[in-house]
Amino acid sequence: MRTNFQHLLIHQEEGVLTITMNRPEVLNSFNDSMLEELTEAVETAASDEAIRCVVLMGAGRAFGAGQDLSGFSAVQDNGEPLKVSEHLKKYHRLIKSMRAMPKPVVGAIRGVAAGISCNVALACDLRIASDNARFIEAFARIGLVPDGGGAYFLPRLVGLGKAMEMCLLTDEVSGPDAERIGLVTKCVPVDEFPGTVAAFAKRLANGPTRSYGLIKQLLYKSMEIDLQASFDLEGQLQDEAFTTADHKEGVTAFLQKRPAQYTGR
Ligand code: LHQ
């Protein structure tokens, strides 16, 4: 993994890759370059066996404020109307890569997560929030619809009623409320946030990584298929999990009454 990104900070330690979006002066809102760099970092992490958990966070006081609106206009430089759907395909690639990543992706949300940054946070497998977190489905504030998978992820996480409320009213959801409605795994005081995120990520990085990757596949796919198809998929994935070194280690450790030492293989 290269570390010389213009808009990302990269830190790798003990199986945890922390990617920090780093445009704090504009609350880490996305320009093209940060979006491309983030996609590259995520896709590189996917195939790097030394990385067993990815943490995504923002530098400074925010997670992210969505698309950088200062450089974005409905009319392009050449006077042609902008086809936003073409631009959105770049976000879709990022989000699909996050979901397909065969290891856990943790969103670490301190401060505001608005617009498409909120939805990138929702695309993570798990989320930890600080108590000053603010989740805002800000799109309707500027006359847009939720993009970046918000309409897909949000109702699945919190139910249609709450999702509709967040998208139509665009009111902020605080970190404690996000924990209460199941939008995040845990909300902690902001001074405990770095330690909590690090411990959470380390726990995941020390887990049975291949099993985690298969669990992601099974849960995400099962949201879209019927019971029989889910049974078929669970059989196929369990056949694969059964052959892993970590499964063998887990059973051996259980029988020997000791903690398992997973290697991610
Ligand atoms: C920003 C931004 C920003 C530039 C804060 N851009 N500078 C849309 C269009 C097309 C294609 C793709 O998809 C999308 C999806 C989207 O993401 S649409 C939604 C875009 N995001 C928003 O509408 C949120 C805009 N930002 C805000 O409403 C506020 O900044 C929030 C509520 C996020 C935070 O408020 P505050 O904590 O009060 O901070 P602030 O407003 O003072 O912002 C600090 C600075 O960051 C400020 O610059 P300045 O030079 O005055 O210090 C802002 O202009 C800048 N900033 N968001 N998206």
pLDDT in tens, 121-144: 999 999 999 999 999 999 999 999
> How far does the centroid of ligand 1 lie from the alpha carbon of residue 249, in Å?
48
Reported as a single tens digit per residue, the pLDDT across 73-113 is: 767 777 778 899 999 999 999 999 999 999 999 999 999 99
Query: In this predicted structure, what is the pLDDT of residue 216?
Result: 98
Q: What average pLDDT is seen over the chain?
A: 97
To which H or E segment does residue 240 belong?
Answer: helix 227-242
Protein residue closest via CA to atom 10 of ligand 1 = 84
Express as a percent the part of the chain with pLDDT over 70.
99
Compute CA distances 12 → 35, 55, 93, 96, whole Å. 20, 10, 23, 23
What letter represents residue 119's amino acid? N
Query: In this predicted structure, what is the pLDDT of residue 78?
Result: 77
Q: Is 159 left (phi over 0), alpha (psi -120 to 50) or beta?
A: left
**Cα 107 from Cα 158, distance rounded (Å):** 17
Q: Which atom of ligand 1 sits closest to the CA of residue 119?
A: 17
Q: Is residue 68 lining ligand 1, measured as CB closer than 6 Å?
A: yes
Q: Is residue 116 lining ligand 1, measured as CB closer than 6 Å?
A: yes
Q: Is residue 51 lining ligand 1, measured as CB closer than 6 Å?
A: no
- Mean pLDDT of the region 223-229: 97
Query: In this predicted structure, what is the pLDDT of residue 264?
Result: 97
- Strands of the sheet containing 126-130, edge to edge, are 8-13, 16-21, 53-58, 105-109, 126-130, 186-188
The angle, 0 to 180 degrees and rounded to 10, between the axes of the packed helices 245-255 and 209-222 is 110
> How far does the centroid of ligand 1 lie from the alpha carbon of residue 111, in Å?
13
Q: Is residue 146 lining ligand 1, measured as CB closer than 6 Å?
A: no
Helices (H), 47-171: 84-100, 115-123, 150-158, 160-169
Protein residue closest via CA to atom 20 of ligand 1 = 66
Reported as a single tens digit per residue, the pLDDT across 49-70 is: 999 999 999 999 999 999 999 9
Query: In this predicted structure, what is the pLDDT of residue 208?
Result: 98
β-strand 8-13 against 62-64: which pairing, if any? unpaired
Query: In this predicted structure, what is the pLDDT of residue 215?
Result: 98
> How far does the centroid of ligand 1 lie from the alpha carbon of residue 226, in Å?
40
* pLDDT bucket at 72, cuts 50 / 70 / 90: confident
- Mean pLDDT of the region 256-264: 98
Reported as a single tens digit per residue, the pLDDT across 2-34 is: 999 999 999 999 999 999 999 999 999 999 999
**Cα 183 from Cα 55, distance rounded (Å):** 17
Query: In this predicted structure, what is the pLDDT of residue 81?
Result: 80
- Mean pLDDT of the region 31-54: 98
The residue whose CB lies within 8 Å of the most ligand 1 atoms, and thus the one to mutate among 69, 86, 94, 110, is 69
Flag whether pLDDT at 71 surpasses 80. no
Compute CA distances 107 → 20, 64, 104, 168, 222, whole Å. 10, 11, 10, 24, 22
The residue whose CB lies within 8 Å of the most ligand 1 atoms, and thus the one to mutate among 22, 27, 83, is 27
pTM: 0.97
Flag whether pLDDT at 174 surpasses 90. yes
**Cα 117 from Cα 98, distance rounded (Å):** 14
